[in-house]
Amino acid sequence: MNKRIKFTHVLSERQIVLEAAQILIQHMSPSKATRFWASWQVGEGDYLAVREQLFQKETVTSLYEQIKKFQKKQKK
User: Angle, to 10 degrees, between the axis of helix 30-42 and the axis of helix 13-27?
Assistant: 140
Q: Which residue has the higher pLDDT, 7 or 64?
A: 64
Q: What is the pLDDT of residue 58?
A: 82
**What percent of the chain lies above the pLDDT cut of 70?**
78
Nearest to 25 by CA among 14, 17, 16, 33: 33
Stretch 52-74: mean pLDDT: 82
pTM over 0.85: no
Cα separation, 19 vs 21, in Å, equals: 5
User: Does residue 1 surpass a pLDDT of 60?
Assistant: no
Q: Where are the domains of the chain?
A: 10-44, 47-76
